[in-house]
Structure 1
Amino acid sequence: MQQSWNSDRRLTAIGRADLSVPARQALADRQLAPGRSVLDYGCGRGGDVRALERLECRVSGWDPYFRPETPPAPSDVVLLTYVLNVIEDPSERRRTLERAWDLTSTVLIVSARLTWEKSKVRGKEFGDGLLTSRQTFQHLFGASELRSYVEDVTGARIVSASPGIVYAFKDEEARLSYLARRIVPDAEWLSSEDTASAITALVDYVERRGRPPRIEEVPRSTAELLAHLKPNELKRLVRDSSDADKVTESAKRTTLSTLLYLAVELFNGRGPFTSLPLSVQLDVRSFFTSYKEACRRSDRLLLKLRDDGYVRGAMNASSIGKLTPTALYVHRRAVDRMPTILRLYEHCASIAAGRPQEWTLAKLKHQGRAVSWLDYPDFDKDPHPRILSSYQVDLQSLETSHLSYAASANRPLLHRKHEFLTQDDPDAIRYRRLTNSEVKAGLYKHPHLIGTESGWEAELIRCGRELRGHRLVRRAAS
C-alpha cells in the first residue's frame, strides 16, 4: 500500500496545531462522539490525531509516509481529509476511497479542496488536475462532483455537511439521527438536583416539545429523582404546572418540524418507521394518526416546493425576512421562524450541497430553486455590513458557485438591517431607529446609488451625515 503513494505527496501535508476544518465540522455535528473509534486515514503529519487525543477521543492515524508502521484498523468513523485531491491516478484515487469506506462501520467523512480555490493553486494542467512547481498534484472538486463521486464509489446515501465536506453513512440509524439533529434539535434538559427541580425540568421539556417524554428520553439523573412518584401522580403534577398555551404552541411547532424532517428524509431517501430516531417516532405517534398519514402530508409539502406560486405566496405571507423582486433574504437567527415550506427549501439545499460554516443571510429565490448563503461577518457591529462571500446551490441542477469579495475595493453593503430579522429580535429596535434616521436625512432618496461602499459614502457626504456606530450624526465641518 505504501508504494502506491507518490512520495512527493508528503509535501502537501501541512503542520497544524488546531483541528482542521473537516474535523471541527464533524465534532460540531457529533460525528466524533465519545465511545466512537476514529481513524484518520492519510493523516499527514498527524495534527488532527494529536488534537483529537487532547479531546480524549479514541483516535488513531495512518499515513503512507509519516505513519506507515501501524496498519490502519477498522473504526466507527474514518476521516479522509484532503487526501483525494493529491492522488493523480484516478484509479488509485478510487481505490483509496474504497479502502477508507471498507474501514468504516458508521460514517466516512470525506473532505476535498474545491474548484473555487483554483486561484490559490499555481501549476500546469496534468491529467484531471494541476501539477504544481513543487511536483505535487491537485485535483479540485466541484461541490456537487464530490458528493456524486463519493455516492458512486460507496453506494451510500450522502449528506453534504458543508461545502467540500460530505458524510457517507454505513449505519442508517446514524444517518437518520444526524438529519434529525439538523432539523429537530434534541431538547436540552434543565439540570436537576432534587425532586422539585426534576419536576421543573420535566415541565420545561413538555412546554418546549409539546408532549411528555418517554423514559428513554429523560436524563438518568432526572429519572432517578422522579422514580418514587407514581406515573399518574407525575402526569397530574406536569398537567397542573405547565402552561397549556405553551404546550399547544410547541405541539404545533413540533408537528411542523416532524413534517419538515420527513420531507427532507424523502428528498434524501426515506426509510421505514422503525429506522427513525426514537424522538421522531414519538413525535409521529403523538401528533399524527399514523406514520402513513405523516408521510403523506410531508410528501404534499415536498410537492409544493416545486410550485413557484405557492412558494412566492409563502414568502409574501411571511413576516420573516426581507422580500425583494427576486428573492427572500433572512438572517440566520430568523431562518427557523420561516414558514415550513421555506425551511424545507433551505434545508434541501443544505443537504444537497452543504451549508457553509460561516454565513449571515440565506437568500431564497422566488422562481427556479436556488439558495445562497451570504457572509456578512460584521453584521452586528457594522451599521452597514459589507459582504465577504456568497455560496449558491441550484436545486434543479445541483450546481454550486462561490464568490469572494475579499479583494474587492467597492463591496456591496446592506441597508435596513432590521428587515432581515424577526420583529422580536433584541437588536431590531436599534437597527430600525437607525433606518428611520437615514430615511429622514434623505439618504435613501437615490436607492440605485447606495448599494456599494463608494456610492453609500458619496450619499453620506451629499447629505452632510456620518455614522458613529448605529447613530447618524451631522458630518463635522472639514
Structure 2
Amino acid sequence: MKRRAWSSDRRLTAISRASLSVPARQALIDKQIATDRTILDYGCGRGGDVRALRQLKCNAAGWDPFYQADTRLEPADVVLLTYVLNVIEDPHERRKTLKEAWELTNTVLVASARLTWERSKVKGEAFGDGLLTSRRTFQHLFGASELRTYVEEVTGVRTVSAAPGIVYAFKDERARLSYLARRIAPDAGWLTSKDTTSAIAAVVDYVERRGRLPRLEEVPQPMAELLGHLRTNEVRRLVRGAADFSEVEQGKKQTTLNTLLFLAVELFNGRGPFNSLPLSVQLDVRAFFTSYKEACQRSDRLLLKLRDDMYIRRAMHASAVGKLTPTALYVHQRAVDHLPTVLRLYEHCASIAAGRPQSWTLAKLRHHGRAVSWLDYPDFDTDPHPRCLSSYQVDLKSLETSHTSYADSENRPLLHRKQEFLSPDDPDVERYKRLTVAEVKAGLYDHPHLIGTENGWEAELVRCSRTLRGHRLVRRTED
C-alpha cells in the first residue's frame, strides 16, 4: 500500500525521543496499546515511539515520508497519528492524511495535535489557518474540542478525548463503550487463585464489590477451570454463605450508581442500543434495574440535574468530600469517586469533552456555569503547602479550554488545610489536621487574604516566627 510523500518539507518538525511520546504513553496507560495488538506509527518521524514500543515487546512499525518511506504500509490494530495534523499547511492534505490513517486502522486511531494554549511557545507569522515559524515550518494549533470534532467529521464515528490534545476514534462502537466503562468504574481485578477455596474467595470478593454474581464469561479462564467441577447452584450457595451481606448491599448501591453514571456519560457522548454495551454493564442493568428503558430514564434525569444550578450547589454542600469555597468545590483525585453521583458526572463529562491532563491533583467544579479545572500540585503528599504547577480548564457550555502554567512563576499559588480536599477516611487526614491546628494557633491564618501565594505565606511565617519541618510547625531560630 503506497502513499505519496507529503508535498512540503516537514522533516524539521520531527524530534528525537528518548522515551515514549505523551500520546503513546496515554494509549499504553489506557490499555489501547498492548503486546497482543499490532501498532502503526503513521508519520513516525525519527521513529522514537516505535523503538520504545518494541523495547516493551510490542509489535510496532513506523512509516514516514522522509525518514521511513520504504516501510510497507499495512492495516494495524492501533494507528498512532502523533503531532502530524498540526504540521500540514494544506487543509485538504491534512484531511486526506487523517482519512488515510483511519483507513489503516483496525481497532483504534490515536490522533494527537498541539493545542492553542501553546501559542506563546510558537514564534511565527500568520499563514493560512496557522503559523509559519522562524524555521519555516508550519503549525496549526487546535482547540481541544476542535480536534475532537475534526476527527469525528473525517472518521464518521464518535470519539473520546483521552487527554488534552489526544483523541481516540474506535472502529467498533463496543470498543468505545468498553473504554468509557473502564474510565468510569475501573476494574478492581480478581484475587489470585491457586485452588478451589481461593477461587471461591475471589468470587466472594467480586460479589461484595459488584453486588452480584459474575457470569462465567466475566471470570478469568484459570479461575473458571478451578470452579469447573462445581455446579452453578453450589457456587452460589458457597458464596452466599461466605459473603458479608452489608458489603454486598453496598456493592449493589455503588454498581447501580456507576451504571447510571455510565449511561448518563454515554448519552452526553451519544447513546447506543443495549446490545452495544459491554457485557458487564448489560448484566448490571439486568440485575439492578427493571429494564434498560428504566435505567436510561433514570440516567437521563441525572443528566438533566447537571443543568440545575440549585441542585448542583445543594450536592456540593451535601458532599462528604472536598473543600467548598464561594465559587467552587475542590476535591483531591483520591476522593473524586466519593463525590455525589451528579458531581462525578459533572467531572466525567468535562473529561470526555476535553480530556483530563495526565498529571493532576485536584478537580475544581464551579458552582455557576459549568466549568471544570484540573490543578496539578505534584508535591501534594510531601509538601505541607504544595505549590500549583499548572491548571487546565474546560467550559462545558462553550467547550473552550484554557491552560495556565506556573512553572516559571516566582510567586505560585499554594494550598492550606490539605485535609479538606480528601475523604475523611484518608490515612493522611489526621496528620494534615494536626498541622492546621498548630498553624491556626500560631496566628498564621489571621490574614487569609495574604497567604494564598508563596510570598505572602513566607511573610506570615516570618511575622509569626515559625518555620516548617515536613508537616511539623516549629519556632524559627535566628541565624
In the alignment, the residues of structure 2 paired with residue 156 and residue 229 of structure 1 have an alpha-carbon distance, to the nearest angstrom, of 44
Partner of 2:404: 403
Partner of 1:83: 84
In the alignment, the residues of structure 1 paired with residue 372 and residue 133 of structure 2 have an alpha-carbon distance, to the nearest angstrom, of 34
What is the Cα-based RMSD across aligned positions, in Å?
Answer: 1.2
Aligned positions of 1:412-451 closer than 5 A? 412-451=413-452
Unmatched runs of 5 consecutive residues or more in structure 1 = none
Q: CA deviation at 1:422?
A: 0.5
In the alignment, the residues of structure 1 paired with residue 251 and residue 324 of structure 2 have an alpha-carbon distance, to the nearest angstrom, of 27
Amino acid aligned to 2:262 = Y
Q: CA deviation at 1:30?
A: 1.0
Partner of 2:128: 127
Contact 2:321–2:339 (CA<8 Å) still a contact in 1?
yes
Partner of 2:117: 116
- String of CA shifts for 1:59-97, please: whole Å, max 9, x gaps: 221111111113321122211000011111111111101
Partner of 1:259: 260
In the alignment, the residues of structure 1 paired with residue 8 and residue 452 of structure 2 have an alpha-carbon distance, to the nearest angstrom, of 51
- String of CA shifts for 1:257-287, please: whole Å, max 9, x gaps: 0000000000000011100000100111111
Aligned length: 478
In the alignment, the residues of structure 1 paired with residue 446 and residue 135 of structure 2 have an alpha-carbon distance, to the nearest angstrom, of 55
Partner of 1:323: 324
Alpha-carbon spacing, 1:22–1:62, altered in 2? closer, same or farther (3 Å): same
Contact 1:8–1:135 (CA<8 Å) still a contact in 2?
no
Partner of 1:41: 42
SS of 1:182's equivalent? helix
Q: CA deviation at 1:157?
A: 0.5
Q: CA deviation at 1:144?
A: 1.5
Contact 2:42–2:62 (CA<8 Å) still a contact in 1?
yes
Contact 2:174–2:277 (CA<8 Å) still a contact in 1?
yes
Aligned positions of 1:98-109 closer than 5 A? 98-109=99-110
- String of CA shifts for 1:294-353, please: whole Å, max 9, x gaps: 000000000000000001000001111000000000000000010000000000000000
Deviates more, 1:186-195 or 1:393-402: 186-195
In the alignment, the residues of structure 2 paired with residue 198 and residue 141 of structure 1 have an alpha-carbon distance, to the nearest angstrom, of 50
Contact 1:207–1:246 (CA<8 Å) still a contact in 2?
yes
Per the normalisation by structure 2, the TM-score is 0.98
Partner of 1:65: 66
Contact 1:413–1:453 (CA<8 Å) still a contact in 2?
yes
Amino acid aligned to 1:133 = S
Contact 2:5–2:66 (CA<8 Å) still a contact in 1?
no
In the alignment, the residues of structure 2 paired with residue 13 and residue 6 of structure 1 have an alpha-carbon distance, to the nearest angstrom, of 16
Partner of 1:51: 52
Q: CA deviation at 1:38?
A: 1.5
Amino acid aligned to 1:67 = Q
Aligned positions of 1:346-361 closer than 5 A? 346-361=347-362
Partner of 2:391: 390
Q: CA deviation at 1:4?
A: 4.6
Identical aligned residues as a percent: 76
Partner of 1:302: 303
SS of 1:88's equivalent? coil
SS of 1:78's equivalent? strand
Contact 2:255–2:284 (CA<8 Å) still a contact in 1?
yes
Matched, 1:460 2:470: no
Partner of 2:200: 199
Partner of 1:150: 151
- String of CA shifts for 1:377-402, please: whole Å, max 9, x gaps: 11111101110100000000100000
In the alignment, the residues of structure 2 paired with residue 2 and residue 207 of structure 1 have an alpha-carbon distance, to the nearest angstrom, of 54
Alpha-carbon spacing, 1:3–1:225, altered in 2? closer, same or farther (3 Å): closer
SS of 1:247's equivalent? helix
In the alignment, the residues of structure 1 paired with residue 124 and residue 343 of structure 2 have an alpha-carbon distance, to the nearest angstrom, of 43
Partner of 1:472: 473
Matched, 1:9 2:20: no
Deviates more, 1:229-238 or 1:284-293: 229-238
In the alignment, the residues of structure 2 paired with residue 2 and residue 39 of structure 1 have an alpha-carbon distance, to the nearest angstrom, of 14
Q: CA deviation at 1:467?
A: 0.7
Contact 1:262–1:270 (CA<8 Å) still a contact in 2?
yes
- String of CA shifts for 1:132-179, please: whole Å, max 9, x gaps: 222211111111111121122222101100001001122101101000
Q: CA deviation at 1:2?
A: 6.0
Q: CA deviation at 1:6?
A: 3.9
SS of 2:9's equivalent? helix
SS of 1:8's equivalent? coil
In the alignment, the residues of structure 2 paired with residue 161 and residue 449 of structure 1 have an alpha-carbon distance, to the nearest angstrom, of 38
Q: CA deviation at 1:127?
A: 1.6
SS of 1:334's equivalent? helix
Q: CA deviation at 1:3?
A: 5.2
- String of CA shifts for 1:18-77, please: whole Å, max 9, x gaps: 111100100111111343222111011111111112222222211111111133211222
In the alignment, the residues of structure 1 paired with residue 44 and residue 401 of structure 2 have an alpha-carbon distance, to the nearest angstrom, of 28
SS of 1:61's equivalent? strand
In the alignment, the residues of structure 2 paired with residue 61 and residue 78 of structure 1 have an alpha-carbon distance, to the nearest angstrom, of 10
Per the normalisation by structure 1, the TM-score is 0.98
SS of 2:92's equivalent? helix
Partner of 1:29: 30
In the alignment, the residues of structure 1 paired with residue 220 and residue 401 of structure 2 have an alpha-carbon distance, to the nearest angstrom, of 42
In the alignment, the residues of structure 1 paired with residue 378 and residue 55 of structure 2 have an alpha-carbon distance, to the nearest angstrom, of 30
SS of 1:281's equivalent? helix
In the alignment, the residues of structure 1 paired with residue 271 and residue 57 of structure 2 have an alpha-carbon distance, to the nearest angstrom, of 35
Aligned positions of 1:221-300 closer than 5 A? 221-300=222-301
- String of CA shifts for 1:173-213, please: whole Å, max 9, x gaps: 11010000001222300111111111111111111111110
SS of 2:238's equivalent? helix
Amino acid aligned to 2:52 = A
